[in-house]
Structures are given as structure tokens and as C-alpha cells.
Structure 1
Amino acid sequence: MLEARVKQASVLKKLLDAIKELVTDGNLDCTDEGIALQAMDNSHVALVSLKLAAEQFESYRCDRNMPLGVNLTSLTKILKCAKDNDVVTLKAADDADSLGLVFESPKEDRVGEYEMKLMDIDQEHLGIPDTQYDATITMSSAEFQRICRDLGALGESVKIEASKEGVRFSCEGEVGNGSVLLKQSAGRDAGGASGSGAKKPKRDPDEENEVAEGQEVDEEQEDEKPIVDEEGEDEQEDEEEEVKPKKRKSNGKAAAKPAKKGKTAAAADDSDVGVSIILEKQVSLTFSLKYLSNFAKSAPLAKEVSLNMSNDVPLLVQFEFEQGSLQFFLAPKISDE
């Protein structure tokens, strides 16, 4: 029996959006280690490998190994019935011919139960050898998606060159030519430094002058004590009590302004992933932009993507996220020369 509980339906939705255009049918291989899916596209050019670790589920139980043949288009339609923050439970009995899906709201005040018919899919499981790649590029997944989209407007193929200069994406098409060069950066290191700096935000000079002037005025008011007779002492004390709370409020507002700026700066630095390049040997390969654009649809799953390249070896595009990993393998285009 299988019973797997996913904390948020949005995770499954993003996964299916990333692979549904490459793979239509596939086996969900359920074991005590988790759920895996491996399938090739119809052209046998790209390979998809998905792994969801058992310990990353809210609860997971799988009594024996079982393949669940599913149509990803049908599964996508059923998952649309769930809200993004719903808890999803996948259920399947031994030798079952259907997969049960239970959608439960966080407040447990709404429960939806659905069943999807399973398929008998005769599919070979390919062994993926461990490869020592000549170049490994780690970059922002959003930037990777943007590059694929922009160059896709020019042509059908992109040449990826990794060198000491950086990594260059270049495209030649009927419309024109274009290239994007990404150089090695320390975005993640800079983000850590800025995070500590956010605790002590800097004040603007104008704000410091305003605070200093306010303090001087307060001191002058304290020094200038009005001369009053004994009958007016009570009235004077009442007026001072009314003035003091107002001063405290104004000082509190002045101190709060720079704190907001510090938080904004820290959030901006966290979003800057940067580019990391590990280069053993210079690599230059050409790939189909159609497939890379499909791979880039996984960007909502993870902030980073790694491109692993070696000459005459399929490209490995890998997304690591909290629940597991999603890998795409793409064969390079053979040069006509």
C-alpha cells in the first residue's frame, strides 16, 4: 500500500507544469526511499528524471515497490481541483487499478476525494552513469529562463560556451544574432555579507540632521524654564505631561525609518543568486532552444539551476528543491561541419 502526504499542492502543480509538455505518460516508481519518475520524450532526445525523497513528505508509507502508470495530462487536470495550499494525499492499494487523491484544506474544513485510472506502461528504466563534467555552471533559474526566452525569439538553437571568461549563450537565426555573457560572480557571498549589514542600517544624512536638530530643540526647551507663580505650577505640570508623549512618538517614528530600508536591502540581496563556474576544460556545445525553454519552466521550483557540460556528452540541467530534485538530460546537436 502507498500513502504519501504532500504539504502543499503547489509543489506537485509546478512539477507537472515543468514536465507535462515533454512527457505524456510515465511510471511513478514508488519505493520505501520515495517516488521517482524517469521518462524520455517522444523524439528520444531528452530524458526526464524526477526524485522525491521519502523523508521530505509530511508522511510517507510504501509497503512494497510498485509502479503507478499515470497520464500526466489527466493528473494535471485533477490537481487543478486543489488549491495551492491544500494538503495532498496520494493513495494506492497493492495491485490497484486507480490512484486516489485527497485534497484537504489547511483548516480541515474542506476535503475533496478523487480517483484516477492507472495505465499499464511498458517502460525500461535507464541507468544514468556518474559523469565527471568538464564545466558546471550554477546560476539563477529565473535568469536561465529569461535567456532561453529572449534567444528563442531569434533562432532555434543556442551555443553554450564555458571558458575562463565566463559562460556565453549565443544564437544565430533568420531574424538576427544575439548573445549573452555571464561572468563569474560572488552573488551568494555578497548576499551573506549584506544580511549581517542589514542589522545596522545606515541613516540618510538629512534624517540624521533632523534628529540632531530635534534633540537640540528639546535641550533648549528643558533649559528655558518658565517663571511661574505658585498658583500656576499645577497648570504648568499638566502641560508638560501632555507634551512628553508627543515627543516620544515623534522620536519613535524617526528611529523606525532606517530600519525599513535595512529590511528592503536584505530582501534584494537574498534574491541575487549570482553565477558560479567550475571549469576543468573549455566546453562548447549547441542545443535546441525548444527543449531548454521547456526545462526552464522548472524555474518556480528552485532559485538556482546547474548546467553540467562535457564535450560529446548530454547536457545535465538540474533543479534542486526542498522535496527532491528534477534532472533533464539533453543530447547536443551534431555540427554539420
Structure 2
Amino acid sequence: MFEARLVQSSILNKATNAIKDLLNEATWVCTESGVQLQAMDTSHVSLVSLNLLAEGFDKYKCDRDLVMGINISVMSKLLKCANDDDDVITIKAKDNADTITFIFESRSQQKKSKYVMKLMNLDKEYLNIPDIDHNCTIRMPSNEFSLICRDLSQFGDSIDITCIKDSVKFSTAGDIGTANIKFTKMSSEDNKERTVKVEAQKPIKMTFSCRYLNLFTNATAFSPRVSLFMSPNVPMVVEYSIEDVGNIRYFLAPKIEEENNS
């Protein structure tokens, strides 16, 4: 038996919004430690990893590991039936069940809604993601990162991210011109939430798809800050924390020079 309760139903709503443009369907793995999702996007270019810790729920019970195939689009529509500002959400599923139940309750307990969604038969795809000591770490306001991805995508299809010591530059070039945005070390501690922090062991420059970076910024609502982790020849990691519940990470392989020159 699986049962999980969240006082803030908006957390699950934000989670589905953050992945629905990348994934049509995905396997949710429920264990005693929490709920995990790992899946390649429909084009097999990026990887999404969602982790919701058991202790982040107001109530969490999972007697045995449960694997559920979820239609992300249907789940997203279903969660929109909740009142994010008021409703408490409870999720239930029996062992070996072919359905999952969502119960929305207003805090005044005047209204209670119940929705039962059919599960899908999906192959369990859980990839082994190795731990890497990344050469460069960028921590910045998530709204700022979202604006950079949006603005630079007006000029080109790719974004170059260049890190040197404690500075980072985002740049692009296209038929209509070029654009670049640079951040250098900030000494002021007056507004730490607005600070861009860069730690680069050695200079690094990598190129990524604007389209995917823009899709990743759908998770901006989760956290005021985002972390980017880069190392040569391995996928970049874009990570957002989810309040006190867990995190969502996106992995995106860099574009190679042959692609850039073609």
C-alpha cells in the first residue's frame, strides 16, 4: 500500500509542469525513502531526474516498492483540478494496482474531490547517474537564468556558456546578430539571493541547445535559485531544489563542434 499526503498540492502541480513538455509518460518509483522519476525526453536528448523525499511529505507510507507508469499529460490536467492555495492532496495506490487515486480536500474540509487515474504498462527505465566532481559550478537566481535563456534564444539556436575563474558569460550568434551576457564576481553581500556565484577550477566553454534550456526553466517556480554544473565532455546538470521536499535535475549533453560547424 502506498499513501502520501501533501498540505501544498501546488508542489506536485509544479513538478508536472516542469516535466510535461519533455516527457509524455514516465515511470514513478515509490520506495520507503520517497518517490523518484528518471526518464529520457521524447527525443532522447536530455534526462530528467525528479526526487521527492519521504520526509518532505506530511504523511508518507510505502509498505513495499511500487512502480507506476504515469501519463504525464493526464496527471497534469488532473492536478489542475486542485486549488493550489488551499487544497490538501493525498495520493493512494494499492500493491500491483492498475490505478492511482488522488484526493483533494479543502482546508476547511467543506469540499472533498476524488479522482482515479489509470496506470500504464511501461518498461522500468532507471539509469545509473555517476557522481562527478564538476569543474565548474554556477549558482544564480532562477529568474535570471530563465530570462537569459529566453532572450538569447531570440538570436540563435545554441547558447555558449564560458566560465573563467569567478566569471561566467552566456553568448549566442545567429543570422540577425550576436548577444552575450556576462556576470563577474560580486563582493556585495547585501542581496545574496541576487548574487551570481561561479567556481571554475579551469576555464571551460560548452555549447547547449536553447530549446532544451528554455524547457528546463519551467522549473523556475520551485526555487529562487538554480545551480549549473559543468565538466568537459559530460552532460551539464541544471538543478532546482523543491522547497523541503527534494529536487529536480536536468541533464543535457553539450553540442559537439561538428554540429556547430555544420
TM-score for both structures, normalised by structure 2: 0.95
Tell me how far 1:178 sits from its aligned partner.
0.3
Same amino acid, percent of matched pairs: 42
Are the counterparts in 2 of residues 287 and 332 from structure 1 also a CA contact under 8 Å? yes
Contact 1:186-1:276 within 8 A present in 2 as well: no
Say which SS state the counterpart of residue 190 (structure 1) adopts. Answer: coil
| Equivalent residue runs for 1:275-294 within 5 Å | 275-294=196-215
> Which ranges of structure 1 fall in alignment gaps of 5 or more residues?
192-269
Q: Secondary structure at the match of 1:8?
A: coil
The structure 1 segments of at least 4 consecutive aligned residues displaced by more than 4 Å after TM superposition are: none
Q: Aligned to 1:35, what secondary structure does the other structure show?
A: strand
Distance change in 2, residues 1:2/1:151 (3 Å): same
Whole-Å Cα distance in 2 between the matches of residues 66 and 182 of structure 1? Answer: 45
Alpha-carbon distance in 2 for matches of 1:124, 1:2: 21
Question: Which structure dedicates a bigger proportion of its chain to helix?
Answer: 1
Q: Read off the aligned partner of 1:316 and give its amino acid letter.
A: V
* 1:146 counterpart letter in structure 2: L
What's the CA shift for 1:133? 0.4
1:333 to 241, 252, 255: 255
Q: Provide the residue aligned with 1:182 in structure 2.
A: 183
Q: Kindly state the Cα deviation for residue 107 of structure 1 after the two structures are TM-superposed.
A: 1.1
The partner residue of 1:324 within 242, 246, 255 is: 246
Contact 1:315–1:330 under 8 Å retained in 2 = yes
Match of 2:160 in 1: 159
User: For each residue in 1:72-94, what CA deviation from the matched residue of structure 2 results, as whole angstroms up to 9, or x when unmatched?
Assistant: 00001111111102111000011
CA distance in 2 between counterparts of 1:147 and 1:89 reads: 37
2:51 maps to 51
| Amino acid in the other structure paired with 1:143 | E
Which letter does structure 1 place at the counterpart of 2:199? I
Q: For the Cα contact (< 8 Å) 1:273–1:303, is it kept in 2?
A: no
Task: Give 1:11 deviation, angstroms.
Answer: 1.1
1:279 deviates by 1.2
- The structure whose residues are more often strand, as a share, is 2
- 1:312 paired with 2:212, answer no
Q: Report matched runs for 1:95-244 at 5 Å.
A: 95-164=96-165, 166-186=167-187, 189-191=189-191
The DSSP-based 3-state class of the residue aligned with 1:307 is: strand
> Do the aligned residues in 2 keep the contact of 1:29 with 1:66 (CA within 8 Å)?
yes
8 Å CA contact 1:306–1:319 kept in 2: the answer is yes
User: Which amino acid in structure 1 is aligned with residue 197 of structure 2?
Assistant: S
Q: What are the ranges of 5 or more consecutive residues in structure 2 without an aligned counterpart?
A: none
2 CA distance for matches of 1:158 and 1:134?
19
TM-score by length of 1: 0.74
Equivalences, count: 257
Q: Which has the higher contact order (CA 8 A, sep 6+)?
A: 1
In 2, Cα distance between the equivalents of 1:296 and 1:186? 27
Alpha-carbon separation, structure 1, partners of 2:187 and 2:77: 42
**Letter of the 1:182 counterpart:** F
Q: Secondary structure at the match of 2:194?
A: coil
Listed one character per residue, the Cα deviations across residues 218-275 of structure 1 (whole Å, up to 9, x for unaligned) are: xxxxxxxxxxxxxxxxxxxxxxxxxxxxxxxxxxxxxxxxxxxxxxxxxxxx7x4311
Q: Which has the larger radius of gyration?
A: 1
1:73-119: CA deviation from partner (whole Å, max 9, x where unpaired): 00011111111021110000111100000001111111000000000
